Amino acid sequence: MTTPVGIVGATGAVGQRLVQTLAPHPDFEIAALTASSSSAGQSYREAAKWRIDSPIPDHVAAMTVSETDPAVVPDDVPLLFSSLPSGVGERVEPAFAEAGYLVSSNSSNFRTDPDVPLTIPEINPEHIDLIEVQREERGWDGAIVKNPNCSTITMVPPLAAIEEAVGIDRVDVSTLQAVSGAGYDGVTSMEIIDNAIPHIGGEEEKMETEARKLLGTFDGNSVEWLDATVAASCNRIPTLDGHLENVFVDTRADTTPEAIVEAFEAYPTVDLPSAPEQLIHVFDDPGRPQPRLDRNTEDGMAISVGGVQATAEGVQFNCLAHNTRRGAAGASVLNGELLAREGYL
């Protein structure tokens, strides 16, 4: 039997990826779609300016988009995937959690709150039990679970492999991020064609904090963040999808590029429907990964890595992930699958 699920903010860039990911899902069935009041009342086909490279699933296209309000989402839809602008999520997600819904959210609000699980199922699934702390503190029947920012999720799996193998003292990362990461109204063609923008508001801080929370230790009550420095520099470039990142890691113990490649390749995946078979794919070719060639590896759910080299203090590498699949829609669907597996639905 499938579980009915809803998508709040269903008409946007991430919302459309959620529709594409959830329509054929073996365990979930799309039962509610919400957006802003300007879309409410329209069919999904009318409300969503569909820009995904596969057709709108027919049964979803005919559904009516509703207001983003717990009063109008059916009570028998226990799980909602949220892709709202963070200011809207900050206001609306607690109302849904208070009304008893489980919210698996992409929005950046609350990600570093001490009682909000920030999870990547392959990396820190045990953090999901922060839900109990959240419910206790906030008095909610529902809960809010977050996936990280798309640039953070690209580098964290390889960092987790390095942390386990030799420990991390410091991370320096520079990103080359696709335009879809800013949403449809994010950057205009006049701004980005023949150009690069060396600043993405708030993005550096997200990478610097979220990575340390994800790699932290959960003792049943709180998460102790990884004791390492993370410094990020974020750039927007004129690719459509796929964030590429150049990462330099100062390791605690001495290591070699060969040992790090071995740690990447051995890093386990997880047994959930949307998880990739191999989490980290390593290229020998120093010219890979590339956004256009490699962003769709394993349905866009794998992390591609290349250019692993020794540095004076550790290693450097390049990594790539599809920002609206692995970095957003796929990440929150994986968290939904984790919630189901752990008995929260």
* Residues engaged in binding ligand NAP (CB under 6 A): 9-15, 35-36, 38-39, 68, 83-86, 88, 106-108, 149-150, 180-181, 183-185, 323-324, 327-328
* C-beta closer to ligand NAP: residue 13 or 165: 13
Catalytic residue among 150, 234, 281, 319: 150
In the block, tokens 């109990």 appear at: 132
Cis omega (within 30 of 0) for bond into 94: no
Q: Please indicate whether residue 127 is annotated as part of the active site.
A: no
Kindly tell me which of 34 and 251 has the beta carbon lying closer to ligand NAP. 34
DSSP string covering 254-269, please?
---HHHHHHHHHH---
Question: Which residue lies nearer to ligand NAP by CB, 8 or 261?
Answer: 8
For this structure, is 243 an active site residue?
yes
Tokens (6 digits) for 195: 């150009």
Q: Which is nearer to ligand NAP, 251 or 324 (CB)?
A: 324
309 vs 182: CA distance, rounded Å? 31
Shortest distance (Å) from residue 74 CB to ligand NAP: 17
Q: Round to whole Å and give the CA distance between 50 and 11.
A: 8
The nearest distance, CB 316 to ligand NAP, in angstroms, is: 25
Q: Residue 170's beta-bridge partner residues? A: 229, 250
Provide the minimum distance between the beta carbon of 39 and ligand NAP in the complex, in angstroms, as a whole number. 3
- The CB-of-89 to ligand NAP minimum distance in angstroms stands at 6
**What does residue 250 show for φ and ψ, rounded to 5 degrees?**
-85, 120
166 vs 192: CA distance, rounded Å: 39
Question: Which residue lies nearer to ligand NAP by CB, 113 or 250?
Answer: 113
Residue of 25, 59, 127, 243 marked catalytic: 243
Which sign, positive or negative, has the C-alpha torsion 316, 322, 328, 329? negative
> CA-to-CA distance for 130 and 215, rounded, in angstroms?
15
Q: How many CA atoms lie within 13 A of 41 on its CB side?
A: 2
Q: Which of 226, 223, 173, 227 minimizes the C-alpha distance to 203?
A: 173
Q: How far is the CB of 325 from ligand NAP (least distance, A)?
A: 9
| Catalytic residue annotation | 150, 243
